Amino acid sequence: MPWVFNDNMPIYIQIMEHIKMRIATGEYKTGEKVLPVRELAAEAEVNPNTMQKALSELEREGLLYSQRTSGRFITEDSKAIEHLKNSLADEYISWYLEKMTQLGFSKNDALEQLKININKSNA
Amino acid sequence: MPWVFNDNMPIYIQIMEHIKMRIATGEYKTGEKVLPVRELAAEAEVNPNTMQKALSELEREGLLYSQRTSGRFITEDSKAIEHLKNSLADEYISWYLEKMTQLGFSKNDALEQLKININKSNA
DNA sequence: ATCATTGTATTAACGCCATAGTACAATAAT
DNA sequence: ATTATTGTACTATGGCGTTAATACAATGAT
């Protein structure tokens, strides 16, 4: 499965978001070992240095930890993972409301437009 | 009113979005003259070259046009402006649904979470 | 003990973004 | 006619992101 990046944001930031998403949804499980940097880099078709940068940032944020030579693992702090999922969701909701408000929609309009879009794609 | 930028995207891209928003909402009206590059740059606290880049990109997209020395103007194509507003809204909606879906929410969950957030902030 | 695997560090090169400073061409204002 | 204003172009500099290539240290596997 190819990792998709866009050009207006640093790749390493997008990798971080990608991995956060996988942790938040439980696709990467608590304490689970992740693939070695070099393999992840190959999978994402990215330079190992770039992957390393993303991973060490995630480590700094406490979502991963590495053991010198046995590999790198997802945090065992399940509260942190729960918190991650909630804060991502909050982030997305706030962003949506903010943008729609800037566009001139009220909050209820923003809700309505979402409803309409969902119903449309169900038809 | 200070223009707010974040660090993970080129400033000129963010300026483009900022101005698109103003055009879409009608804050900048059809055919209206916009401030000279240098003044916009000063207002945004950005280098004139950066503002120039954003403006010429918007011109390439047909949202602005410039007359050699009399200044720069908002497009008079009101259909394009209407289309801009719709496509921005669609973009925001799709993005929200996509992210929430990736996080493991169903579309209806995404709707519910939005409702909850709106009610919370009204309380 | 040896070897492969792991995370990590370092150096070099290139491109894009942003700033700074300067200049020019066309036109509007006087 | 002269001047100010406008968009535009150009050069140089610095920083960050990305790739490439290489190397080292620690440990697990054999």
Summarize pLDDT for A23-59 with one digit per residue, the tens: 999 999 999 999 999 999 999 999 999 999 999 999 9
Q: Which of A88, A8, A99, A118 is nearest to B92 (CA)?
A: A99
Give me the residues near strand D, CB below 7 A. A 10-12, 46-50, 53, 67-70; B 34, 36-39, 48-49, 52, 55-56, 59, 66, 68-72
Residue A3 CA and nucleotide C12 C1' are separated, in Å, by 28
What backbone torsions phi and psi does residue B73 show, to the nearest 5 degrees?
A: -135, 155
For testing the chain B interface, which of A96, A115, A119 should be mutated: the one with the most B CBs within 10 Å?
A96
Local structure of A34: helix, strand or coil: strand
Strand D nucleotides with an atom less than 7 Å from a protein beta carbon = 5-11, 16-22, 25-28
Q: What is the pLDDT of residue A1?
A: 67
Grade residue A87 by pLDDT with cuts at 50, 70 and 90: very high
Between the alpha carbon of residue A69 and those of residues A65, A66, A101, B4, B21, the distances in Å are 12, 8, 50, 43, 50
Local structure of B65: helix, strand or coil: strand
The span from the CA of A60 to the CA of A75, in Å, is: 11
pTM over 0.85: yes
What stretch of H or E contains A17?
Answer: helix A11-24
Q: Which of A123, A96, A89 is nearest to B90 (CA)?
A: A96
Between the alpha carbon of residue B11 and those of residues A13, A67, B5, B6, B50, the distances in Å are 17, 38, 7, 8, 8
Exposure on the CB side of residue B58, measured as CA atoms within 13 A: 31
Residue located via tokens 């449309």: A120
Decide if pLDDT at A110 tops 90. yes
Exposure on the CB side of residue A26, measured as CA atoms within 13 A: 5
User: Å from A57 to nearest chain B CA?
Assistant: 15
Quick one: tokens of A11? 């790749």
Grade residue B1 by pLDDT with cuts at 50, 70 and 90: low
Per-residue pLDDT tens over the stretch B110-120: 999 999 999 99
A93, B113: Cβ pair inside 8 Å? yes
The span from the CA of B62 to the CA of B26, in Å, is: 16
User: Å from A79 to nearest chain B CA?
Assistant: 17
Is any atom of nucleic acid chain C found less than 7 Å from the CB of residue A50? Answer: no
User: Å from B26 to nearest chain A CA?
Assistant: 9
Share of chain B above pLDDT 70, in %: 99
Q: What is the pLDDT of residue A65?
A: 98
